[in-house]
A and B are shown apart, each in its own frame.
Chain A
């Protein structure tokens, strides 16, 4: 099971956190600090796994961002690496050549995508297109609601003119 997902920039800024195991708020910041120092100090050619407090942290760097997932020692590290890549590919398709700025200004979208990929720390969907379809359909629903509301407000505005 995945205990948490962290996205950390090379400067140590947190870009996304998702907790599937309850950590109290105070401990969360401690965990983030520990993982950042652990992961950011590792050299480029080393393996993508580090032991951390009896768990294993699987991380991979994409451009300026480190994607980290904390798993049980009995879990499959190589598969977790593949899940990270899976997520990155979906982000890339959704934003079209994703960069860190996309994830800063549209952080909520990154969360929506993650929620279509993982629930309860387990994988939900292995089909990238299916995830994209689900997220964009829900985006359209939001757009439609917005259209409806604005047309409604136009009618009210005209009626009260």
Chain B
């Protein structure tokens, strides 16, 4: 019987169970013991055993802590709580808080018991109920029981009051609407002397301010004076053994009052002025040799930074942080860094003064401190200190931990790009970062580097030579390798001939075959991935044109990959071999240097592209109709085409092949490997669609992902064809027997005809007409051509447009498409762009048809509509 009443006296089976579990040597043994115990407890529960109920509950709690399921005991908690005795209730509430959380519906059943216990005559039972309610109550329970808790705030017993105040915090968090009900009671609790009640009341007030503006105003008016008094009393109080911690009376109360003062003073000049004096007193008088004192100072500084404090007080606060920062205790330095980050917004100059110390913290042994410090340094960088700070960080990159390099690299790259006015400096820093931590450099960072080099013609020679030297030393940094290989391919002759030397540079002797060696080594390096190898192949191809004597050797290296199991490499290898072998005459013009990449456009795109929406939509930069803007290097700079991202069209990964004569390059990654292919027909009108065929033939994805879809990619591997018209027919020769160009005459000079969709079997071209006086409306005549060798029957074309566009489809001229491009079907579409001039046209299309009675489906999206539709 004894055992039944108190399970925890010595010799009970709870103790035995814990012992036997602890004695288990393996996890399996432990599971067996727990299973046995759980079985016994389940049996006792189903028998409705009352005597051992709380002992079983205690056991279940222990089992629960070990991580085993104990849901079957939940109802037992409710029974214990409903029992009359204090011991049962005590263990019942403990079980309730441990085994259940507010999500469980079982919890609703306890509301009634809680209500009774909140009205109990025994203060300890009331305390148990308040504690449970404060820890796990749900919004519904909060609503139901708020009146009881409100009433208990006025209870005579201080222990009940403080528990009720904390319980109110939970209620207000769950149901912020109730905040106003509590504000007057909370304010009056601030007049109490009992520290527990004071602390709880201050916390409740802070919570009320967060939940309701009305409460905030009320408390600003009614309790500021009391708060100042409380803080003054506690900070001036003589030694009080009950509350003393390290010579300071009740640091907890200090901190909580300071926190509430911050909430009240924020954005309110009057309140701020009222508490200025007491804050100054706390900031100057508090001892800082123990953790408790530092905790108060820390909170005080935060309050000074948070309110409308006087400048003198702010200086005081910053000085405290300076002291913290030079403290030898890691904890203090951590909070100082934390606080300085907030202080930057208030007083940047003051924080700058501690720059050297902060920089030291970046190199700390403790990763928590390093991370904080790095964030802070990043915020501190400005025009004047960017160079020295970057140097420090890059120097540290050399010796830092592997797991910290990623953060550090990202921050350095970001700083270097932000302050990249001095291009030589930018290049030097980027080369160092690439050589030290190239594996951590993000793709967009090195893409940006290439764009910049492409634009800085006077530094290209220097870049390629530096990269060549670095590549010899650090061949294992992936992104360094890529940039270097690209540069060697593009600017190989500058490497060999020491062209455009800078003053400070030392000449180096690199022979043509050295350059080829470097790329070959990279290509054959075991760790190189597909993208890198593909770039190597392009680079080699280019070198074969730059250095004719090495052509034979390059042919062999390229040919080695003809049997590569990666489709991407195999395809490149075969195609490049054919170019080297059979098309000497056009090679040099085909492999000219990349046209200068459009830097402004790239930066805009980079900012806009949230993720790698490297969709399959792409286009070749070409002639802008009606007045092409020819630049000296022969690339057309068409007006920037807005991204079709608003429609989430660009995230579509349905493979679409389009060629846009009049749109800007859609994807710079592809452009890096791609070409600036310009093809102006002798008439100067619309470009012929034959370019599409050429592009398809050479189509190569820039990443392995793009190998999959057979219909993808208009992606020419680093072949620059200039605008010379006579070359075109020869290029078409590469098609080796595929159908020749079918030029579509342009009917409307204002809007060129586009190839809206192209797959292996089907091509769709759009030509456009506008009625005068109706700029929003466009008549599109679509023409479908069957490129396959079998006839398509039951051909249906469907189109979808974004909400701001209206679309009308007229019937097609036929539903049968003859094979081999012999004649085409036309269909006319009328679109009305309700946001004409603001958003470009965009369209998704779907074509279904039958081949030999078998259903086929193709789909894609068109976002290369000429501008102005």
Contact = CB atoms under 8 A, between A and B. Distances in A.
Contacts of B218: none
B335 interface: yes
Given A14-B66, A17-B65, A76-B255, A119 B163 contact: yes
A82 B103 contact: no
B505 interface: no
Contact of A126 (B134, B167, B170, B196): B196
Interface in B549-574: none
Interface in A110-161: 111-112, 115, 119-120, 122-130, 134, 137-138, 141-143, 145-146, 149-150, 153
Most A C-beta atoms less than 10 A away, residue of B163, B173, B252: B252
B381 interface: no
Interface in B347-390: 365-369, 371
A117 B256 CA distance: 15
Contact of A76 (B62, B200, B298): B298
Interface string B1-17: 11001101100000100
B131 A119 contact: yes
A119 B173 CA distance: 13
Contacts of A125: 162, 195-196, 199
Interface residues of B, number: 77
Nearest to B332: A78
A145 B366 contact: no
Interface in A44-90: 45-51, 76-79, 81-83, 85-86
A142 B86 contact: yes
B105 interface: no
Nearest to B101: A22
A14 B90 CA distance: 23
Contacts of B424: none
Interface string B175-212: 00000000000000000000110011001000000000
Contact of B124 (A15, A141, A149): A141
A78 B335 contact: yes
A107 B170 contact: no
A16 interface: yes
Contacts of A85: 291
Interface stretch (B243-251, B535-543, B632-640, B785-793): B243-251
Contacts of B90: 112, 138, 142
Contacts of A48: 330-331
A77 to B, nearest CB: 6
Most B C-beta atoms less than 10 A away, residue of A49, A128, A137: A49
B295 A78 contact: yes
Contacts of A122: 166, 169, 200, 203
A103 to B, nearest CB: 11
Given A76-B295, A141-B86, A49 B124 contact: no
A122 B8 CA distance: 29
B242 A129 contact: yes
B162 to A, nearest CB: 6
Contacts of A93: none
B231 to A, nearest CB: 14
A46 B5 CA distance: 48
Interface in B1-38: 1-2, 5-6, 8-9, 15, 18, 22
Contacts of A15: 65
A42 to B, nearest CB: 8
Contacts of B131: 115, 119
B321 to A, nearest CB: 13
B65 A82 contact: no
B371 A79 contact: no
A79 B300 CA distance: 12
Contacts of A43: 365-366
A95 interface: no
B368 A49 contact: yes
Nearest to B71: A25
Contacts of B243: 126-127
Nearest to B87: A142
Given A78-B291, A141-B124, A120 B368 contact: no
B331 A81 contact: yes
B302 to A, nearest CB: 8
Contacts of B242: 127-130
A25 B99 CA distance: 9
Contacts of A150: 1-2, 5
B130 A51 contact: no
B159 A134 contact: yes
A96 interface: no
B294 interface: yes
B746 interface: no
A16 B65 contact: yes
Contacts of A105: 15, 18
B87 A146 contact: yes
A98 interface: no
A98 B253 CA distance: 27
B8 A108 contact: yes
Most B C-beta atoms less than 10 A away, residue of A78, A82, A107, A112: A78
B200 to A, nearest CB: 6
Contacts of B85: 145
Contacts of B667: none
Contacts of A23: 101
A124 B22 CA distance: 34
Given A79-B295, A115-B97, A146-B9, 14 more contacts: A16-B65, A20-B135, A24-B101, A46-B367, A77-B331, A78-B291, A78-B335, A108-B91, A112-B94, A122-B169, A124-B163, A130-B196, A137-B124, A146-B2
Interface of A: 14-20, 22-25, 29, 32, 43, 45-51, 76-79, 81-83, 85-86, 104-108, 111-112, 115, 119-120, 122-130, 134, 137-138, 141-143, 145-146, 149-150, 153
5 contacts: A47-B368, A50-B368, A78-B335, A126-B252, A137-B124
Instruction: Report, nearest first, the 8 A-B pairs whose CB atoms are least far apart.
Output: A78-B295, A47-B330, A119-B166, A119-B134, A120-B170, A46-B366, A125-B196, A126-B252
